[in-house]
């Protein structure tokens, strides 16, 4: 990577302790010469699968993560209301009402670059919110002339919604669009109009699970149609789903999909497999 390039690492939804452990293991394994310039992680499920406690917030921050994005579950732990108003790195969905605590856009400065991180909720099969496209276009117009890169975490259910809005935003100055929320990594990483794109970055957490949650409690809900308290699955085998994007002269030049699996053997974390794909524009 040349001196003029800028590397961003984005982690899909961190789910519970297994997800935090997986992210910590991955970050500690990166060689100094391969370190990213800026690290983002979606943290709405980081505390026992729902929300983010202040304790886990501090833990994740100590790993070297620069920015936390979120989604509709960020409100699930009451701790959030104690620190979100004064927080400097957490981004909540931009298309919540103006009175909602927190902010949907933050500007960071790293390695001489200004990076704008925006977070929105989709509207399909999601809580009722304002149009993500309208608020994004308005915010992009406000900031595009004085930031180097604009990164969007689109937290939504429907792949069609992500694909359509992602393509539209590629024509309006966005440089990175990552979908989150479904916890299933898509194999469609690409560069469109100089914008790095993936429909869903996936999740970080237990491999032997139902999108991070315990199989037995998940299947019981399907068999009985009764409300069941979800539990985070065990951390015996854990995974990291992420994407790494390299920018040059204001545009994305490559996007790498990351899927790394570990065996949690007590004090040792053993690499099981590493797969993914690279798209270069």
For the annotated catalytic residues, the residue numbers are: 73
Paired tokens of 128: 């009722």
The Cβ-side half-sphere exposure at 126, using a 13 Å CA radius, reads 25
Paired tokens of 37: 């310039």
CA angle, 223 then 228 then 232, to 5°: 105
Q: Classify burial at 243, counting beta carbons within 10 Å of its beta carbon; exposed 0-12, middle 13-18, buried 19 or more.
A: buried
Q: Kindly give the residue spans of alpha helices, DSSP state H, lying in 30-131.
A: 54-62, 80-83
Nearest-angstrom CA–CA distance, 135 and 67? 20
Nearest-angstrom CA–CA distance, 257 and 209? 21
103 contacts: CB under 8 Å, gap ≥ 6: 91, 92, 94
For the chain, count helices (H), then strands (E).
6, 14
Q: Classify burial at 197, counting beta carbons within 10 Å of its beta carbon; exposed 0-12, middle 13-18, buried 19 or more.
A: buried
- Residue 147's DSSP bridge partners are none
Dihedral angle computed from the Cα positions of residues 160, 195, 30 and 74, in that order, rounded to the nearest 10 degrees? -50
- CB of 172 within 8 A of CB of 192? no
The distance between the two most distant Cα atoms of the chain, rounded to a whole number of Å, is 58
């Amino acid at each position: 990577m040349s001196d003029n390039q800028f590397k961003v690492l984005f982690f899909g939804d961190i789910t519970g302790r297994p997800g935090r452990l997986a992210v910590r293991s991955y970050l500690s394994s990166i060689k100094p010469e391969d370190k990213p310039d800026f690290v983002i992680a979606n943290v709405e499920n980081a505390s026992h699968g729902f929300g983010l406690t202040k304790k886990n917030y501090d833990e994740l921050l100590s790993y070297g993560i620069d920015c936390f994005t979120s989604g509709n579950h960020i409100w699930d732990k009451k701790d959030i209301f104690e620190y979100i108003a004064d927080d400097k790195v957490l981004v909540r969905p931009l298309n919540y009402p103006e009175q909602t605590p927190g902010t949907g856009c933050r500007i960071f400065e790293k390695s001489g670059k200004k990076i704008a991180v925006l977070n929105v909720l989709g509207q399909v099969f999601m809580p009722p919110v304002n149009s993500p496209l309208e608020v994004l276009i308005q915010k992009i117009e406000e900031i595009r002339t004085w930031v180097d890169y604009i990164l969007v975490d689109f937290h939504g259910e429907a792949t069609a919604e992500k694909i359509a809005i992602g393509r539209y935003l590629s024509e309006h100055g966005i440089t990175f669009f990552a979908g989150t929320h479904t916890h299933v990594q898509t194999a469609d990483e690409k560069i469109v109009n100089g914008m790095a794109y993936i429909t869903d970055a996936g999740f970080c957490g237990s491999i032997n699970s139902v999108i991070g949650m315990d199989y037995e409690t998940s299947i019981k809900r399907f068999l009985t149609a009764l409300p069941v308290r979800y539990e985070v699955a065990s951390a015996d085998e854990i995974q990291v789903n992420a994407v790494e994007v390299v920018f040059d002269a204001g545009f994305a030049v490559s996007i790498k999909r990351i899927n790394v699996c570990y065996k949690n053997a007590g004090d040792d974390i053993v690499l099981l497999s590493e797969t993914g794909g690279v798209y270069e524009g």
